[in-house]
């Protein structure tokens, strides 16, 4: 066995103990992500050795450094540095193995142990750790419900109605004084540090031709700003506006909770760090990770990705509720005194983050959940609709509604569709409602997505890349909890599409919901703001010239009086 020399050991010990407590916390965090077996080396010598060796390399965070950490960790794990620790490791995983395997055998999922005997000690522990993280009985119930759904008590005759007027309002036709009242109330709540925002940013930009998190995507603006930067700067501007308007002498803080997934967490953290958190304080930008669920074969079997790992997939944007518990987000909100939360998806370049009008509207209604909607373009648009379903608020897919119903016109509002409230995944929650998540989380349904899922063939041990859908991924939707509310505790605010909704879903050149349309909508919004402030766009007969106005200059068109009388001839940037 190779042991450090006495001199080297002394140097390493000194290096380790001279680091700050913060570095120690970072070390534990990194070791947790590398392998949980670290915590099984619980004797003083074992912990001391791992701690002092690894912490030497925590002075930087480059990929090379991370590789060094991993290499040293794996080397140390193979050493017989402490016989008691080795015995403890052996005993612990063997102690867990038998009852765990029994559970999976009884659940008819024993195939996950097919290659167990051929695994190394570390691989065995890795597999046991992953298998132990899932509630197997719940997984089997979910699989059974999704593959063999019970017949609806409504027998397909759900009663669908538009939301009643009592729970809705529209920016399009509301009185100016009402909108100002909501705005002032929301701004006051922000100034009191009672408002937080939660960003759902677990997706990668695969459809956009990028493997990076979707929020990192540059939509082609003159400034080159990413979606993350646009949103972060809007938060910064709203903090400044709230502080200035309220005359507060203390700092106004809007915590930004960013939910990532396994593939996007580290890349998101690094992007935020590289961009100095877009002017926000690091401690107020909290990155957390949504959970995963096993991928299931068409026969109901849990699939393996490798001999020591299950095939898993993120649990959908509805995983936000479980993640807020498991990542202690609710605990952090409680400590900060948060009362009102806005949650939204990353792919909307026009999103009004920490929107005081929306916060004020929702708070004035004293509801548990509120949502924004835009007016559906036409009967055939493929969007989810916010409706009353069997007397409860709900979101239904466009495919759930026949064409005749979808095309029906509103008898009280000539020229608009009866069912027109298109869901844009922009929601308000009262903190008091989010505190009840443990009471209803188990009732949320799971939805299936049939996919081509790479897997390890348990008969041959060969990796398979299927050519057609061979299994299902399980996911939850963020709106699955809506039907748990009475309509009296729900509200919907219709907003202008051109001001608040331009999703990025398709590759450049698609002509719809792509980088070009996102860029166009940002520039045209800036043009409207500038014209409202008195700017003139010359030599532009086809209205093509636009203006990018930095969120740090204006959040929603305010503060642009200096543009009055100015002439703008080409697309430009105002920063």
Residue 92, pLDDT score: 59
Residue 148, pLDDT score: 78
pLDDT per residue as tens, the chain (575 positions): 333 333 333 333 333 433 333 444 444 444 444 433 333 333 333 444 444 444 444 444 444 444 545 555 455 444 443 444 444 444 556 678 999 999 999 999 999 999 999 999 999 999 999 999 888 888 888 888 777 776 654 446 789 999 999 999 999 999 999 999 999 999 999 999 999 999 999 988 888 888 899 999 999 999 999 999 999 999 999 999 999 999 988 999 999 999 999 989 999 999 999 999 999 999 999 999 999 999 999 999 999 999 999 999 999 999 999 999 999 999 999 999 999 999 999 999 999 999 999 999 999 999 999 999 999 999 999 999 999 999 999 999 988 899 999 999 999 888 999 999 999 999 999 999 999 999 999 999 999 889 999 999 999 999 999 999 999 999 999 999 999 999 999 999 999 999 999 999 999 899 899 999 999 999 999 999 999 999 999 877 667 779 999 999 999 999 999 999 999 987 778 88
Residue 6, pLDDT score: 39
User: Which CATH architecture describes the domain 160-505?
Assistant: Alpha-Beta Complex (3.90)
Residue 291 CB neighbours (<10 A): 19
Residue 420, pLDDT score: 97
Taking each helix axis from N to C terminus, what angle separates 63-78 and 21-34, rounded to the nearest 10 degrees? 70
For residue 286, give Cα distances in angstroms to 255, 265, 341. Answer: 8, 11, 14
CA-closest candidate to residue 146, choices 1, 300, 291: 300
Phi-psi region of 388 (alpha: psi -120 to 50; beta: other; left: phi over 0): beta
Residue listed under structure tokens 């070009």: 516
Tell me if 557 sits within 8 A of 540, measured CB to CB. no
Half-sphere exposure of 561 (CA within 13 A, CB side): 1
Residue 205, pLDDT score: 83
Residue 199, pLDDT score: 99
CA-closest candidate to residue 407, choices 367, 380, 447, 443: 380
Which helix H or strand E contains 520, and what residues bound it? Answer: helix 515-532
Q: Is 498 helix (H, G, I), strand (E, B) or coil?
A: helix
Question: How do the domains of the chain map onto residue ranges?
Answer: 1-133, 160-505, 517-574
């Amino acid at each position: 066995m190779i042991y450090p020399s006495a001199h080297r050991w002394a140097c390493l010990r000194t290096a380790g103990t001279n680091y700050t407590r913060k570095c120690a916390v970072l070390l534990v965090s990194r070791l947790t992500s590398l392998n949980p077996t670290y915590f099984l080396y619980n004797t003083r010598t074992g912990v001391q050795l791992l701690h002092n060796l690894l912490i030497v390399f925590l002075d930087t965070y480059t990929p090379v450094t991370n590789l060094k950490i991993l290499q040293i960790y794996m080397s140390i794990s193979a050493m017989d540095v402490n016989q008691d620790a080795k015995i403890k490791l052996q005993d612990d995983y063997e102690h867990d193995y038998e009852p765990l395997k029994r559970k999976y055998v009884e659940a008819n999922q024993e195939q996950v142990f097919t290659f167990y005997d051929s695994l190394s000690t570390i691989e065995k522990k890795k597999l046991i750790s992953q298998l132990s993280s899932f509630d197997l009985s719940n997984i089997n119930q979910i699989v059974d419900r999704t593959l063999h759904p019970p017949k609806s008590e409504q027998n397909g005759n759900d009663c669908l109605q538009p939301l009643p007027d009592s729970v809705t309002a529209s920016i399009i036709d509301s009185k100016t004084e009402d909108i100002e009242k909501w705005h002032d109330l929301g701004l006051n709540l922000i100034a009191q540090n009672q408002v937080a925002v939660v960003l759902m940013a677990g997706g990668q930009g695969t459809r956009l031709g990028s493997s990076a998190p979707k929020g990192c995507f540059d939509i082609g603006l003159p400034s080159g700003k990413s979606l993350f930067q646009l949103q972060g700067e809007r938060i910064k501007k709203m903090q400044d506006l709230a502080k200035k308007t309220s005359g507060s002498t203390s700092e106004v803080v809007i915590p930004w909770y960013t939910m990532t997934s396994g593939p996007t967490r580290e890349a998101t953290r690094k992007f935020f760090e590289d961009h100095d958190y877009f002017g926000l304080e690091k401690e107020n930008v909290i990155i957390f990770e949504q959970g995963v669920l096993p991928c299931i074969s068409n026969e109901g079997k849990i699939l393996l990705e490798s001999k020591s790992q299950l095939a898993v997939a993120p649990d959908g944007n509805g995983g936000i509720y479980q993640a807020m518990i498991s990542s202690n987000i609710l605990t952090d909100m409680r400590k900060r005194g948060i009362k009102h939360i806005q949650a939204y998806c990353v792919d909307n370049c026009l999103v009004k983050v920490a929107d005081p009008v929306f916060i004020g509207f929702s708070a004035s209604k004293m509801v548990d959940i509120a949502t924004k909607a835009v007016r559906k373009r036409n009967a055939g648009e493929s969007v989810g609709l916010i409706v009353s379903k069997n007397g409860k608020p709900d979101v239904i897919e466009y495919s759930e509604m026949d064409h005749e119903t979808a095309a029906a016109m509103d008898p009280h509002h000539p020229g608009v569709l009866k069912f027109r409230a298109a869901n844009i995944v922009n929601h308000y929650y009262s903190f008091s409602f989010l505190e009840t998540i443990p009471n209803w989380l188990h009732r949320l349904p799971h939805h299936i997505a049939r996919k081509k899922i790479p897997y390890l063939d348990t008969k041959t041990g060969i990796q398979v890349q299927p050519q057609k859908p061979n299994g299902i991924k399980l996911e939850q939707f963020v709106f699955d909890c809506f039907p748990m509310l009475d309509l009296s505790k729900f509200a919907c605010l219709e907003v202008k599409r051109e001001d608040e909704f331009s999703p990025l879903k398709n590759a450049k050149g698609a002509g719809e919901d792509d980088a070009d349309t996102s860029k166009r909508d940002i520039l045209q919004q800036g043009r409207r703001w500038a014209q409202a402030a008195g700017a003139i766009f010359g030599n532009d007969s086809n209205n093509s010239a636009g203006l990018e106005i930095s969120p740090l200059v204006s959040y929603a068109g305010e503060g642009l009086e200096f543009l009055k009388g100015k002439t703008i001839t080409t697309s430009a940037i105002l920063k």
